Structures are given as structure tokens and as C-alpha cells.
Chains A and B, each alone.
Chain A
Amino acid sequence: MAMATSTFSPPASQLALRRQPGAAVRYHLLSFPRLRAGLRLARAAAGEAPVEAVVDQPLPSPAASNGAVVKAKEPAPAPLPRFRDSRWVNGTWDLKQFQKGGAIDWDAVIDAEARRRKWLEDCPEATSPDEAVVFDTSIVPWWAWMKRFHLPEAEKLNGRAAMLGFFMAYFVDSLTGVGLVDQMGNFFCKTLLFVAVAGVLLVRKNEDIETVKRLIDETTFYDKQWQATWQDESPPE
């Protein structure tokens, strides 16, 4: 059936698309899923979540075939392994298996879900109504997300702000003689403080400035496209 074979178009082409669009590397990358699939099968059989990096052996280089980029003539590919994890039961994570010392280890749940999404992004699977996925990330409580993602970032930013603030206060004091308490009472200083805080929150890297500019453009682009027809209206006679 034309459809059955064509559904197995190798996800490698998507890998090649996303990661390295160069044609020369495509041949090399095409070989990966075969090996990855083999290693995944082994891991799936073991029912374990792998933590070690994939060790890939390079196939004979393209140079062996006179330098021409040979499209790998694949025989009907073996079905790629579906995502399997002993803790993934009935389309959701079985929280009882994540117990650590009586309480649920939410970090492990987040890790497991991240791994599952990564697997499926690399190897999209057919969905089936019998094994419907019903996992919802909101079952992980808000404080688990905070502890894991927000707090380290907040610590970093607060640390930077504190260092900056201390030295700025010292600097201003040495230049003008105005002490810390008097500095806080000054309107100009308060404005500077506000600008500094806002800047640090919005602009973490240099690229963020471009991102903010692009976002502003994006929000009004569609409006401009709709207004285009009114730009050239002729004045009434």
C-alpha cells in the first residue's frame, strides 16, 4: 500500500532539517537513527531511562564512494521503537513510582516528562485512542516549578543587583558625599534604581534588545497589512 511505506519516511530527514541543513552532512546524519534506534531498543528492553550520551560509530565516510554524496538506499526500515517507560502508565506518569522518602519527587517527574517530549520530538509517533496521552503539566504543583526554575534565576539576578547596587552606592557616596540613606530619598536616584531594575528584568542578554524591538514590530505588523488599502485612498472630489 502506498501509504504504509511512505509513513515511515525517516525522521532523520527532519533531524537533518532542524539541526544541520548542509547537504554534505546529511549522509552522515542519515546513519544515526539506525544506531540510535538500536540503542533505544536495547534501553527500551531494559525498561530504563538512559542517562548516558549516545555513542555512535561512524559509518564508512562518503570519501569511500568517490566523494559523491550517495543517498542511502534503505531497505524497508524497521519500525522505530515507541516511547516506553515503566513509569508511564495509561498515558500519564504514575506518581506512585516517583516516591522518594514518602513524598513525590517532582523534579524526577519534570525530568521524565522532558525526556518523553524530547523522544517524541525526535521520533514522532502515531497516536492511538487506546493509549491516549492525558498527562497535564498542571498536576506538578506551582512550588515545584518555582523551586526548580524560578529560584535559581532569581538568586542570580538578585545577586547581580546587590553587587551592582553596593558599588553604585559606594561610588556615588565617594563622588558626592551623599550617604546611602540620603541617596534613597533623592528622586533622581530612585528613578535610576527603577530603570536599572526594569532593565535587568527585561534585558538579560544583548540579544534581548533585538527581541523586544522585533516583538513590538510583530504586534503591529498585521494591523499595518490591514490598513494598507486605506493608505492610498484618493481624497473626495
Chain B
Amino acid sequence: MASLSSSAAAARATFMPSSCQSRPAGGGRMARLVTRAAASSPKLPSGRRLRVAVVGGGPAGGAAAEALAKGGVETVLIERKLDNCKPCGGAIPLCMVSEFDLPLDLIDRKVRKMKMISPSNVAVDIGGTLAPHEYIGMIRREVLDAYLRSRAEGAGAEVVNGLFLRYEAPKEPNGSYLVHYNHYDSSSGKAGGEKRTFEVDAIVGADGANSRVAKEMGAGDYEYAIAFQERVKIPDDKMKYYEERAEMYVGDDVSPDFYGWVFPKCDHVAVGTGTVTHKPDIKKFQAATRLRAKDRIEGGKIIRVEAHPIPEHPRPKRVAGRVTLVGDAAGYVTKCSGEGIYFAAKSGLMCAEAIVAGSANGTRMVEESDLRKYLAEFDRLYWPTYKVLDVLQKVFYRSNAAREAFVEMCADDYVQKMTFDSYLYKRVVPGNPLDDIKLAVNTIGSLVRATALRREMEKVSL
């Protein structure tokens, strides 16, 4: 008994040594929860292992299932479409490749140059400050998701092809959740799948922006953007331009609150745009994006049209009982860039680690407080990143004038270095304070000039 509780304490210490002393963004209230001991949660009856259902087999679900299985928890991963080609920009930062040990052949393309194009077509190339080993990896979601799921299976998780329907909360405090799902099995001959149930102790909702788990647990809604994308196969000579280059278009014509993009994929490009506030006009924005990139994608054939919602902020409730959300289901997409893959996988991993630690490697029952520890840690680690990107979006995506200033700022080497550092490694390294002051002055200067020009523009009548 003594060894179990000490190993539980050790597991706790290795998982979160600093969060016990840290001051999370929410203030002192959170710190109070963190210091509860794991040894007080009851041991599981008849020595069985903890059972967890991971709903959704994307990056969040795959990472969570693998970490859970490795930690000694009995894991079931439910995915409704094993060959799903999720509509996605498909960009992953360098830290994801190293943190998740991704093999380099998953990456279709290494983007080393980005072109930012302002509403008046001022074009700025960024990427000149990247070291030779640094790049933004472009992946196909079907490839990445399948790889992470296979790793989870290899670690001992059971991957089930099925559609999560609903769950029933336990009636006693330490009872089980009853998960209802539609089991798809091509060999059984039933077209719609057969209804099945199974019992678990905890549920991790990793089923994306339209999460059913979130609906079941009453997590609340979030504002979301619609991202619309067309995959275009362009002739080889035009594809050369996009060999290592991605483009980002900003402007009211392309999107009133987001940006339009041309991202290279394995053998074609993805041209798309998104918006939160003007969703019915998405087709117009897409046409405008195609117009801006016209010369470079002319002669291309649209091979696929896809769209998907992207959450703008976390759901009001991310945990209820022993059910929690990770990834897009929780709403972990950054503003300004709309990045979600890394945070989905990382949150899945952190949630799984919290469950493993709280259950002392699957031997004890977990509680809501253990899941809240994952939330506290995630919020503490990544809150600065999210806040900075929110501020950037509020300042630079407001109007065409602000976007012109934004593109002008991107021409600065210091800005490029800071941007790429924070994107590729998810760390905000404080630079030289003198450079920071210069940057602040330049930013204000750009904004003031762009606003002044805007006022002149209003006087001009063409």
C-alpha cells in the first residue's frame, strides 16, 4: 500500500511539479484545487484497470489514446470514419514533429517561405530568418490521423469504427458511464451499423468542432468561423512556385475577419478563406481569393470543395464529472492564425497524462479534480500564446488600414524572427528590450500611417 501511494505521489510530482507552485491565469482559486492527494481516490474494485473511452480519432484522440494505453489504462478509441479526409489547412509546427516523434515521411512539404499580401497587393516575403532545419510541415490529415491511431493501437488501445451516440451518467458516485454507439462492421452486413453499448469510467471527447460529447455534457456553444477550401490541381510549372511557399491574403474582399490562403499540399494546392461574421458570403470571399491568386492558379482544376467550422474560443464548460473535452471539441484553436492541430494533439496528450497520474497508472478511479488539473496545466502553459494571438487579431484584422500596417510590419526581420520562434516552438522568448521598443514604435508608426492614408482614401472619389 505504501509503495502504491508513494508511486502515486511520484507520478503526480513528475506530471506537474510546477503547477502546484504556479499562479495560473485564473488566480489563486485554481491553486487551491491542485494540492489534493491522489491516494484518497478509491482503488478500483477487483484490481481491474481504469477504462476510458476516447471519442474521435483525430490528432487529439490519437494522442490521448496512445498516452492512456501507454500509462496502463484500458482505452477504447471510437472513430466514425477511419479514412476521413478532414478539411484542414494541414500545417504543423516543428515542435509537434519532435514532441510527438513524427516520422518525417508524414510531411508532404516543408514550407520555408510565406508571402503575405495586403489589400493593395503589397507583398512581403517572410521566412528569410529561418534556419535551414526550420520549416512549417504540410501534412495530409488522413495520413497523420491514421498514423497516430495506429500508434495508439500499437500501445494497446482498442480502435473501434463506430459513431458515438450518447452516454448515460453514472447513478452512484463511483459508477460507470454507459456509452451508446453505432458499431460499423462491414462483415456484419448491416448498412447503418448496430447499436452497442459499453461501460467506461471516464470519457474524453475528442470529436472535433461539432462534438457530440460536448452536446451531451452540456458544455455550451462557442462562436465559430467557417473555413472554406478548394483543392486545385495546377499545372506542374505553376506548382513549382508553391514548392516551398505558402501565401496569405488579407483584405476586406477576401475575408472581413480572417485571411485567405493558398497552401501547397502533396501534389495540388488548397485555396481557401474563412469568416466568423459574414458566413453567408463565404462564396464571394472564395471568389475574391481566387481572383487575387488568379495568375498563379490559372489552368487549375478544382478536385475537391470542402468546408468545416473552426472554434473561436473554448467552450464555457470543458469538464463535467468524469467527462472532458480536448482539441477542437474543447475549442483550442488560436485566433489570428487559426492553428489547431498541435493544440489538439497536445491537449489530448496532457489530458491522458492527467488521467494516468490521477489514477496511479490505471489502478485507481479518477475524479473531476484530476481532469481539472489537465485544464489548469493547459491553460497555464498556453494562455500567453492564445492571448498574444488574440491581441494581434484584434489590432491587425480590424480594417484594411490595419491589415496594410500588418503586412508592412511583417517586412521587419525582428518581427519575422519572433513570429516564427513563437509559432515553431510555441515559446515566447523575450528578445532584446531595445529591439522590443523599436518594434513597438514601428508598429505604432505603421498603424498611424495606414490610418492616415485611410482617411485620405475616404476623400478620394474615383
Contact = CB atoms under 8 A, between A and B. Distances in A.
Chain B facing A: main interface SS:
helix
Given A115-B460, A138-B449, A120 B408 contact: no
Given A9-B287, A119-B462, A236-B369, A226 B386 contact: yes
Contacts of A140: 449
Given A125-B292, A223-B387, A145 B302 contact: no
A125 B298 CA distance: 14
Contact of B292 (A115, A126, A222): A126
B81 interface: no
A133 B404 CA distance: 12
B108 interface: no
B133 interface: no
B30 A230 contact: yes
Contact of A135 (B122, B315, B383): B122
Nearest to A149: B452
A232 to B, nearest CB: 7
Interface in B360-406: 368-369, 372, 375, 379, 383, 386-387, 390, 394, 400, 404
Interface string A1-36: 111101111010110011000000000000000001
Nearest to A222: B390
A7 B461 contact: no
Contacts of A126: 291-295
Contacts of A50: 462
Nearest to A125: B121
A110 B456 contact: yes
A228 B292 contact: no
B317 A229 contact: yes
Interface residue tally of chain B, by bracket?
35 or more
B313 interface: yes
A53 to B, nearest CB: 5
A228 B317 contact: yes
A117 B25 contact: no
Contact of B293 (A8, A36, A114, A127): A127
Contact of A236 (B36, B284, B294): B36
B369 to A, nearest CB: 7
A129 B237 CA distance: 14
Nearest to B314: A226
Nearest to B290: A7
By Cβ-Cβ distance, the 9 closest A-B pairs, closest first, are: A126-B294, A114-B456, A228-B316, A225-B313, A9-B287, A229-B318, A117-B120, A120-B120, A124-B253
7 contacts: A116-B120, A117-B120, A118-B457, A124-B251, A137-B453, A140-B449, A145-B452
Given A9-B288, A14-B284, 13 more contacts: A6-B290, A7-B290, A50-B462, A53-B461, A117-B453, A124-B288, A126-B293, A127-B292, A136-B408, A138-B445, A140-B449, A226-B25, A229-B317
Interface of B: 25-26, 29-30, 32-33, 36, 117, 119-123, 220, 222, 232, 241, 251-254, 281, 284, 287-288, 290-302, 313-319, 335, 368-369, 372, 375, 379, 383, 386-387, 390, 394, 400, 404, 408, 411, 445-446, 448-450, 452-453, 455-457, 459-462
